[in-house]
Chains A and B, each alone.
Chain A
Amino acid sequence: MSETLVDSKKIDSSKRTWLIASGCAGAVGGVATAIPFVSTFQPSERAKAAGAAVEVDIAGLKPGEKVTVEWRGKPVWIVRRTPEQVAALAGKDAALADPKSERKPDELTPEYARNEARSIKPEFFVAVGICSHLGCSPSDKFQTGAQPSLPDDWAGGFLCPCHGSTFDMAGRVFKNKPAPDNLEVPPHMFLSDSKLLIGEDKKA
């Protein structure tokens, strides 16, 4: 350009101030507009409302068996442990990452399950079947002894197929595995000896 349109000596500084101010105000408005867009990523009201408690009949469950029910879209296991499986829980604290359920107790272990068997009744173990590593559902490895992907002195428990984390029969994670935490014990209570309610406990 041969001639300049702006004469630097005659800049109207108040006009410039207002241009900058309105530009900043516009930028704030633009950023604020992003909030509703990002908010749509949150769970919808319908998704939040879903998640009622589930009632399970455990009368037909034999020792050593497991049933899986769906609660809030997640698998919840109810395992009826044999006396041998309950006995095997003791004395392994050194091999476990968190034998006393002390990590994140409010999220993972309700007060009534903060014991060695991580359950209300030692016989019945209730847990959300989602690995604390990256959310896979571990597989049952109730058979004891040496087998692929497991140590030779395996006493029964669960193996996550994704990254090889192992858990004992109380959902307690073994040391030096990718999963940092024990399996979550959901709020639950016995309505009677054969009826279990998953998702609510006596506090509620």
Chain B
Amino acid sequence: MAREFKDISPNASAGEKVTNWFENRFPTAFDAYKVHMSEYYAPKNFNFWYIFGALATLVLVIQIVTGIFLVMHYKPDAALAFGSVEYIMRDVPWGWLIRYMHSTGASAFFVVVYLHMFRGLIYGSYRKPRELVWLFGCAIFLCLMAEAFMGYLLPWGQMSYWGAQVIVNLFAAVPLVGPDLALLIRGDFVVGDATLNRFFAFHVIAVPLVLLGLVAAHLLALHDVGSNNPDGVEIKAPNAPRDANGHPLDGIPFHPYYTVHDIFMVSVFLMVFTAIVFFAPEFGGYFLEYNNFIPADPLKTPAHIAPVWYFTPFYSMLRAITSEMMYALIACVIGAAAFGVVKAKLPNIFKGAIVGAAVVVSAAMLSIDAKFWGVVVMGGAVVILFFLPWLDNSPVKSIRYRPDWHKYLYGIFVINFVVLAYLGVQPPSPIGERVSQVGTLFYFGFFLLMPWWSTVGESKPVPPRVTFVAH
């Protein structure tokens, strides 16, 4: 559909003429600028929590740019990889800086994304009509985990090697097809050169392409439905107040208002980021583990192996599933089924189905190794996030208008997550095992019981417009 060619006055300035020349030939770019920047109305009451989306985009750019430069010197070969990373660190001019930016960027990505997800959690940003925004976001989180995991193999240090060995063996726990699946992922009978090469391909091209596509979908879907805000009030609802031009009174254009806002916070973020890059790039062994400065040795596992900090909450849940824990899980399944049969208002045929499913699941739990269920729990801990929009039945979106005890519950959820993360870094111990088992039950209970607890208690009245004090 061709649009009308716009003529401009011959007296117009050179700048206006150039703009007009481009606008006539590429109007899409000009429309996109309006839709996503100058006329994208975002709620005016954004607070501190709304910075992390922009920061995640910044870190993505840092990772892509530093990654491209690292690939110019890195060698994806089991015999050369470790040496080539040391070569980047010692012999390539400024190579150490690029590498530390990339390794710190990986941890920064997870810091920013965890905070971004927490924001969504407390303000109900996943609720209707933003379910797809949340789903794309969860898919981005999965891609990031894949990126981080496969990237960590590339330096071919002891942690790279044994970390990959453990995670690939997770897939071997799947009944029947597991061992063949693990073989297909490794491309050899143990983690080796073939594994390194394919992880390199996934890390530098396959996953980043998917990631960029998902980021585009996340942003486009967000701009279609509009941003949520700390009050959970829809500023673009049909009955929301608007000015004479039809723009929401509670919204301000993303550019220049939030771009300036973001640039300020980007500077603050970069101060912290560069401080870490220059003064503590290993961050006490949390960002780059000490064992990874030892070349991979397939014959010897380091005395203590743990994943990088951002995987440890999920790793703790994996370790929590022992054959003893299986009895607790079976009790949970039977309890849930009994509750469903007694309480739910369902036809008898569905109740029969619930009982049947509980029996099948319990039998499977007894007959298949705890190891497989550990993998299921670890995967389930991430997958359950996808279902959040349909688990939350609270009448209000934002934590601000929920019953006060919800705040404490979210507080406990965060503490529980941090405790699980801490335990995942520690060597296995009997007390740690018990605590992580309780923590795992709480984590899943939080989500699986959410349809019930989110309706309990009296929510406060939601104001018709966002709370905002001009400053």
CB distance from B81 to the nearest CB of A (A): 16
B263-289 CB contacts (< 8 Å) to partner A: none
A175–B322 CA distance with the chains assembled, in angstroms: 10
What's the count of A-B pairs with C-beta under 8 Å? Answer: 104
B29, CB-defined interface residue at 8 Å: no
A161, CB-defined interface residue at 8 Å: yes
Asked whether, in the complex, the Cβ of A149 is within 8 Å of the Cβ of B428, the reply is: yes
B192, CB-defined interface residue at 8 Å: yes
A145, CB-defined interface residue at 8 Å: no
A148–B301 CA distance with the chains assembled, in angstroms: 18
Q: Find chain A residues with CB under 8 A from B165 CB.
A: 134-136
B381, CB-defined interface residue at 8 Å: no
B170, CB-defined interface residue at 8 Å: yes
Total residues of chain B contacting the partner, CB 8 A: 42
A82, CB-defined interface residue at 8 Å: no
Asked whether, in the complex, the Cβ of A72 is within 8 Å of the Cβ of B190, the reply is: yes
Q: Find chain B residues with CB under 8 A from A74 CB.
A: 189-190, 298
Q: Find chain A residues with CB under 8 A from B186 CB.
A: 43
Asked whether, in the complex, the Cβ of A180 is within 8 Å of the Cβ of B301, the reply is: no
> B166 contacts which of A138, A162, A177 (Cβ < 8 Å)?
A162
A139–B433 CA distance with the chains assembled, in angstroms: 20
Q: Find chain B residues with CB under 8 A from A129 CB.
A: 299
| Closest Cβ neighbor of A160 among chain B residues | B301
A176, CB-defined interface residue at 8 Å: yes
CB distance from B411 to the nearest CB of A (A): 30
Asked whether, in the complex, the Cβ of B300 is within 8 Å of the Cβ of A72, the reply is: no
A184–B301 CA distance with the chains assembled, in angstroms: 17
A45-90 CB contacts (< 8 Å) to partner B: 47, 51, 68, 70, 72-75
Q: Find chain A residues with CB under 8 A from B188 CB.
A: 43, 47, 73
| Closest Cβ neighbor of A39 among chain B residues | B184
Select the stretch in B129-137, B234-242, B366-374 that faces chain A: B366-374
A114, CB-defined interface residue at 8 Å: no
Q: Find chain A residues with CB under 8 A from B324 CB.
A: 176
Asked whether, in the complex, the Cβ of B323 is within 8 Å of the Cβ of A175, the reply is: yes
Identify whether the interface residues of A are mostly helix, strand, loop, or mixed: loop
A42–B371 CA distance with the chains assembled, in angstroms: 25
CB distance from A55 to the nearest CB of B (A): 17
Interface centre among A41, A51, A163 (most CB of B within 10 A): A163
B183, CB-defined interface residue at 8 Å: yes
| Closest Cβ neighbor of A73 among chain B residues | B190
CB distance from B125 to the nearest CB of A (A): 36
Interface centre among B169, B304, B321 (most CB of A within 10 A): B169
Asked whether, in the complex, the Cβ of B303 is within 8 Å of the Cβ of A161, the reply is: yes
Which residues of B approach A to under 8 Å, CB–CB?
Answer: 162, 165-170, 172-173, 183-190, 192, 194, 198, 298-305, 318-319, 321-324, 369-371, 374, 427-429, 433
A-B contact pairs, 22 of them (CB 8 A): A38-B184, A41-B198, A43-B187, A47-B194, A68-B300, A70-B298, A73-B188, A73-B192, A133-B371, A134-B169, A136-B165, A137-B300, A138-B301, A149-B428, A149-B429, A164-B428, A176-B322, A176-B324, A177-B323, A178-B322, A179-B371, A180-B371
